[in-house]
Amino acid sequence: MKPIETSYDPRTPPEVVRILENCRVWPHARRIRVRYGHTRGKKAGLDWLEEHDVEGTVGRSMGPVKVPLMIHNSKSTGGQAIMDECIVRIIDTKTHKVLYSHPKYRHPKFTIRVSGRSEMPAVVMADGELHASFPNRRAAEAWVKKMSL
């Protein structure tokens, strides 16, 4: 087997490295969504609910230290470095199949509250704490559905 030329954080589980590398190279390349979270300690497995730079194809930077990148789409010329040591879940965006899940993976419990008192009256609570605001209940429900995958 050819050695991996991509540089991963030493704390990254070998299974995450294998999956990211499989998703990076043809013919297995595919779009994924990564979920970042706590990987160690009391909160191990808790999803941070990150929304940006978490979906796309896996690429690799250039230069002497090649790190995994999240490439948004085929027209993108680069991407953000993947925080591979913080991955708690990897999902295939086409099939919604979970490719990897931290042994203690969990996302916060969501509740939606609506009041008529602001421009963004629909709020999503995550484990009882305000996490996001939306113009209406429908938008809040759509966000919860996406973040629950």
In a domain, 5, yes or no: no
The pLDDT of residue 3 = 61
| DSSP three-state, residue 49 | coil
Task: Provide the whole-model pTM.
Answer: 0.89
Tell me, yes or no, whether 46 lies in a domain.
Answer: yes
Residue 80 pLDDT level (bands cut at 50, 70, 90): very high
Do 64 and 134 lie in one domain? The reply is no
Residue 89 near residue 101 (C-beta atoms within 8 A): yes
Please answer whether residues 115 and 104 qualify as being in contact, where contact means their C-beta atoms are separated by less than 8 angstroms.
no
Asked whether residue 33 falls in the same domain as residue 89, the answer is: yes
141 token code pair: 């429900």
Structure-block tokens of residue 22: 């499989």
> pLDDT class for 73, splitting at 50, 70, 90?
confident
Q: Are residues 44 and 117 in the same domain?
A: no
Are residues 93 and 114 part of one domain?
no
Is 23:58 a contact under the CB 8 Å cutoff?
Answer: yes
Phi and psi, residue 101, nearest 5°: -145, 130
Residue 8 falls inside a structural domain: no
**In-domain check, residue 20:** yes
